[in-house]
Structure 1
Amino acid sequence: MARDRRREDGAGPSHTEYEVGSRVSCKATFDNTYHAADVIERKTDPKSSKLRYYVHYLEFDKRLDEWVGQERVASIAKVASADALHRVASGGGSGELADQKMTRRLKRQYTEILHVPAALEELPPIDQHLEKEHQEKTKVKNIQGVELGRHEMDTWYYSPYPEPYASCHKLFLCEYTLKYFRKKKTLLRHLAKCTLRHPAGDEIYRSPPPPANDPTVVGGAVTNPPISMFEVDGKKSKVYCQNLCLLSKLFLDHKTLYYDVDPFLFYVLCEKDAQGYHIVGYFSKEKNSAEGNNLACILTLPPYQRKGYGRFLIAFSYELSKKEGRVGSPERPLSDLGAVSYRSYWTREILDVLREHKASLSIKDISDKTAIRTDDVVKTLESLSLIKYWKGDHIISVTQKIVEEHLKTIATQKNIEIDLNRLHWAPYRQEPPKK
C-alpha cells in the first residue's frame, strides 16, 4: 500500500507514497497533533508537483476531513502508541505534559460536539446500500470555504454545486439571494445591482429592538441585534430555496433535498442591522407531512452557533405546530448537532411544564401543552430518570424538588424567548387545482 519515492538527483530524504485506502498517521490542522487517519483520495499539486492526500481522522467526524501535504503524513507503523504519536507532533521537551493535557482536552471537546454516526452494519440492508452510495459520492469535500457577507467559513461536507462552481476551492455568496460566484469581483458587481436586502419571502416575526439604555447597545452598535423570521415558499421562490439547500449541504452530511423544493416551506432566521437582514440559519418544513413532522431540516450557520439560535428555531417550529392545533416532531434521522439541540429543547420545555403544574400531569397532558409528540416526551423523561414502566403503562415519577434540581443544571443555557404577539402567521392551506 506504500512505497518509497526518492528524488531523482539522489539527494535529500526519501518520501513514502500512500495509496488510497492506506491507514496512516497524519498531523491534523485543527490541533497540530498526529492522529490515525485513512487516505480517501490523493492528487498531485500542479504548482509544487508534490502529492497531497485527502484524509479522514478515525477518531473524529468527517467534517474534519482535509487535504494535507505529504510532509504531514507518516507511516502509522512507526508509532506504537497515541503518546508516541504526540511526541512526534510536539517534539518532546519540557512542555510535553502541558501539550498532552491540551490534546486530551481538544479530543474531549471534539468528541462531545462531533458525535459519530451509527455504524454501517447496524443499519438495515436497504439503508446500508443507500449509505454506501452516499459515502462514495460525498467522500471528498469539494468546496473548502465560502464567503457569506462579513463571514468566511470553512465547509464541513460535500455539496452538489454545479460545475464549474463545484471545483472551486472557495465560493462567494450573496447573503440576500444566496447566488454563488467564483470570484469576489463578480459578487461585488452583483451586489451593486441587487436591490434585495432580505430573504425572498414574507417576514412573519420580528423581535422588538433593544431600548437605548440596553447593556447590549455599546457605542451605538447593537451587540445583540433584533432578529426576524421569513417564510419562503419553495414553489414561489424556487431558485432561492435551491441555493439555500446547496449552502446548507456544506454543513449537513445527510441532507438529500437539493432541487425538489416545491413541497416545502423554508423559515429563514436573520439578524437585522442598517445594511439589511443577515441570514443566521433556517429550518424547512413539508407543506403536508404524512408523518406529522413539523421540521424537515435545520441548520444554524457556524458563525452563529452556541448563541441560542438553534433552540430558537426548534421552539419556533413548535409554536407553528401549536397554531396548527397539533403535535409535531422532527424528521429523522437528526444530524449530530440537531439531536443535541432537540434533547436540550425537549428537556427544558417538559421540566418547565412539570414545575408549573406541580408534576401532576400525564404524558398526554405534557404533549398537549408543549406540542411535543408523546414518543419524544417519554424518551426525554427516561433520559432524566423521571418515568417508570408499571403494569404496562408509563408512570411519571417526580417531585418538585427533583424538577428544580434538573432545571438548575440547564439554567445557564442561552435561551431566546419568542414574543407570540409579534408572530403573524397562518397555517399553510393547499391551493385548489386550477380548472
Structure 2
Amino acid sequence: MTKMADSSVDVIEGCRLPVLRKNQENEDEWPLAEILSVKEVPGRKLYYVHYIDFNKRLDEWVTPERLDMKKLQFPKKEAKTPTKNGLPGSRPSSPEREVVRAAGTGPQHPPSRPPQPQAQQKSLPTKTSIPDFQVLQQQVQRKSLDLNLQTATAPSRGKTLPTPKRKAESVSLATQVSPATPVPSLPGSAEASQVSVYPANGTARRPMPNQPGRKRKQPPNCGGTDEIIKVFQYNSPRCANVYLPPGEDSQDSSDGIPSAPRMTGSLVSDRSHDDIVTRMKNIDCIELGRHRLKPWYFSPYPQELTTLPILYLCEFCLKYLKSLKCLQRHLTKCNLRHPPGNEIYRKGTISFFEIDGRKNKTYSQNLCLLAKCFLDHKTLYYDTDPFLFYVMTEYDSKGFHIVGYFSKEKESTEDYNVACILTLPPYQRRGYGKLLIEFSYELSKVEGKTGTPEKPLSDLGLLSYRSYWSQTILEILMDLKPDNGERPQITINEISEITSVKKEDVISTLQYLNLINYYKGQYILTLSEDIVEGHERAMQKRHLPIDPKCLHFTPKDWSKRGKW
C-alpha cells in the first residue's frame, strides 16, 4: 500500500526518508534515500533522491506520493565552532587530550591529587604549570615507538626477518602487490620451494583464521614470482589449511588508508566539482544513431542543453545538437562515416580506430562528454592531448557505429594500459567489454610491456576485468603439458609475460579464485572441478576473441616526441 506524503511538512534538500521503488523482482521496497534537489512543475513538486548504499545510476526524480513522511529525518546543523583540525566532530590528537586532561579539574584528576585552582584550569598547559609534562611526553614518545615497531614487524609475522645480506634476495609475493589488489601475505625467500597446481575432484578448503592459543607449525619460506609452479595430478588431494590474511576489498588501498590524489591521468582528483550539482543527472535522454540512451551520471554538457528532453548526437563525429532538425542539417554536411584516426584492426564487422587526443581534439572531447554519462569517476573532459583513444565500432551498410572505447596515456609511469573503458549500454552483456580489455592487452604485447587499468574501476569494470583475468590465467594453467615425462612447470613471471597482465593482478586473481592453499609445507594452487567446469562454460560463450593477425599496429615512443 502506497504511503502518502504529508503536505504539512516541508521536505528540503538534505532530508532523508524511505522512498518507494521497484527492485529487480519488480517488488515494492522502501530504501532510505536522501533528497538532493526539489523542483516545482505545474501542479506538483518533484524530488531528486539518492538511495543510500545504492549506485548513483539509480538516482531519480520522484513524486511526493512515493515518500514515507512518517520517517522523515531532517539534516543535522553544521558545527558553529570550528575545531582544531578543521573537521566537524573531530577530536584533538592523543597527546593534546592527555595534556588537557592533566590540567583539568574534577574527574579528570586521580583521587589522590587535589584539584587545581580555577585560574589554572583556563590556562594553557605548559612545562612549568604541569609538573608531569615530561613524563607524559615520554609516554607519548614511547607509544609512537611502539607503533613504529609494530608497523615494522607486522609484515614479518610468522617468519624470521631476512638479514641485511639476504634482504635483496628475499622477495615476497605480498611485497609485489599494488595497493589496488590485496593478496595473501606469502613468505619470501631465495630458496626455490615448489608450488603445485593440480586439478582435484574436491574443492579447495577455505582459509582458516588462527585460533587463540593454538600454535601453528612455521611453514618454510616460499619463493617469489620467479618460483617454479609444478602441476601435480592427484585424484583426492589432502591439503592442509593455511591462514591467508584477508585483504581489504578496495581498489585504492590494501591497508584501508586512502591513497594520495592522482596528479595525472583521466581519474585525477578534482574536488572542486564535488558539489550537489555534479551529484545529479543533468541529461534526461541522448539519441545516438538508432539508440536512445538514459544517462547514469552527470556530464558537463553546456547548461543550455540540460533543459532539453532529448540531446541529439551525431554517431560519427559525436557532435551534440539541440534538436532533430539541427541533427538532420548536420548529417547533410558531416562527411564522416567512421571515427577519425587510423583503423588498426578489422575482423568481420568489428573494427578498432586509434585516435590521437591532440590531433582530433574535438572528437576526443565529445567522446569524453558522452562517456561521463556512464562513468562516475571520470574527470577528464577537455585536456585530451596526453591520451590515445581506441574506439571499437560495428560495421553495416550505413557506416561504422560506435560500440565502446578505451583510452590510455601516451606516457604512463605506472604501467597503465587503460585509463577509461566503456561499453555503451545498448551493447552491454554481449561480450564487447572483454573484447575491449583483450584488445588493450594485445597492444601491450606488441609494445613488449605488462599493463594494468587505472584505479578505481567502476563496479561493472571491476567485474569485467576479474572475469577476463580469471579466464586468461586459468586457460594457461589448464593448457600446461608435461615435458620429458616431468610435471609441467611455470612461474608467475612467465604467466605475466605471456598475458601482459601485471604480476600484481595475476596474484590477486589467484586469491580471488581461492586457488592458493598450503599443503605439506608449501603453497599450492588447487584447481577444483567446479573451477574447471566454470572455465569451460565461460570459454564456450566467448565467441569474440581478438585475432592478433588482424592487428596492424606500430607502437610509438612518445618520450622522444616532445609535447606529444
Q: Same fold (TM over 0.5)?
A: yes
Per-residue displacement from partner, 1:344-364 (whole Å, max 9, x unpaired)?
Answer: 000000001111114631111
Question: 1:28 is aligned with what amino acid?
Answer: R
Instruction: Find the counterpart in structure 2 of residue 55 from structure 1.
Output: 49
* Deviating 4+ runs (over 4 angstroms): 13-16, 29-32, 115-119, 129-133, 388-392, 399-403
1-side partners of 2:550 and 2:442: how far apart? Answer: 12
Question: 1:43 is aligned with what amino acid?
Answer: K
Question: 1:173 is aligned with what amino acid?
Answer: L
Equivalence map 1:80-95=2 (5 Å): none
Structure 1: runs of 5 or more not aligned: 6-12, 79-114, 209-225
**Structure 1 pair 274–167 and aligned structure 2 pair: CA distance change class (3 A):** same
The answer to whether the Cα contact below 8 Å between 1:284 and 1:295 also exists between their aligned partners in 2 is: yes
- Is residue 142 of structure 1 aligned with residue 292 of structure 2? no
Instruction: Find the counterpart in structure 2 of residue 426 from structure 1.
Output: 554
Indicate which of 376, 379, 394 corresponds to 2:508.
379
Q: Which has the higher strand share?
A: 1
- Is residue 77 of structure 1 aligned with residue 56 of structure 2? no
**Offset, 1:227:** 1.0
The answer to whether the Cα contact below 8 Å between 2:406 and 2:436 also exists between their aligned partners in 1 is: yes
For this pair of structures, how many residues does the alignment match? Answer: 367
Per-residue displacement from partner, 1:355-401 (whole Å, max 9, x unpaired)?
Answer: 11146311111101100000000000111122247999x95523596
CA RMSD of aligned residues (A): 3.2
Instruction: Find the counterpart in structure 1 of residue 422 from structure 2.
Output: 299
Secondary structure of the residue that 1:372 maps to in structure 2? Answer: coil
The answer to whether the Cα contact below 8 Å between 1:172 and 1:180 also exists between their aligned partners in 2 is: yes
Instruction: Find the counterpart in structure 2 of residue 311 from structure 1.
Output: 434
Instruction: Find the counterpart in structure 2 of residue 112 from structure 1.
Output: none
2-side partners of 1:136 and 1:65: how far apart? Answer: 13
The answer to whether the Cα contact below 8 Å between 2:251 and 2:457 also exists between their aligned partners in 1 is: no
**Structure 1 pair 76–304 and aligned structure 2 pair: CA distance change class (3 A):** farther
The answer to whether the Cα contact below 8 Å between 1:229 and 1:269 also exists between their aligned partners in 2 is: yes
The answer to whether the Cα contact below 8 Å between 1:25 and 1:37 also exists between their aligned partners in 2 is: yes
**Offset, 1:407:** 1.6
Instruction: Find the counterpart in structure 1 of residue 298 from structure 2.
Output: 158
**Structure 1 pair 39–118 and aligned structure 2 pair: CA distance change class (3 A):** farther
2-side partners of 1:260 and 1:407: how far apart? Answer: 41
2-side partners of 1:433 and 1:405: how far apart? Answer: 51
Larger RCO, structure (CA 8 Å, separation 6 or more)? 2
Indicate which of 258, 267, 271 corresponds to 1:124.
258
Instruction: Find the counterpart in structure 1 of residue 526 from structure 2.
Output: 398
Report the identity percentage.
Answer: 48
**Structure 1 pair 75–125 and aligned structure 2 pair: CA distance change class (3 A):** farther
Instruction: Find the counterpart in structure 2 of residue 21 from structure 1.
Output: 14
- Is residue 252 of structure 1 aligned with residue 375 of structure 2? yes
- Is residue 189 of structure 1 aligned with residue 182 of structure 2? no
Q: What's the TM-score once normalised by structure 1's chain length? A: 0.77
2-side partners of 1:177 and 1:131: how far apart? Answer: 31
The answer to whether the Cα contact below 8 Å between 1:354 and 1:360 also exists between their aligned partners in 2 is: no
**Structure 1 pair 376–193 and aligned structure 2 pair: CA distance change class (3 A):** same
Q: What's the TM-score once normalised by structure 2's chain length? A: 0.60
Structure with greater Cα Rg: 2
Instruction: Find the counterpart in structure 2 of residue 67 from structure 1.
Output: 61
1-side partners of 2:517 and 2:548: how far apart? Answer: 35
**Offset, 1:75:** 1.6
**Offset, 1:76:** 4.8
Question: 1:366 is aligned with what amino acid?
Answer: I
Structure 2: runs of 5 or more not aligned: 73-248, 262-268, 482-487
**Offset, 1:195:** 1.4
Equivalence map 1:324-335=2 (5 Å): 324-335=447-458
The answer to whether the Cα contact below 8 Å between 1:23 and 1:76 also exists between their aligned partners in 2 is: no
**Offset, 1:58:** 2.0
- Is residue 33 of structure 1 aligned with residue 34 of structure 2? no
Question: 1:39 is aligned with what amino acid?
Answer: I
**Structure 1 pair 402–140 and aligned structure 2 pair: CA distance change class (3 A):** closer
Q: Which has the higher helix share?
A: 1
Per-residue displacement from partner, 1:279-332 (whole Å, max 9, x unpaired)?
Answer: 000000111111111110000000100000000000000000000011111011
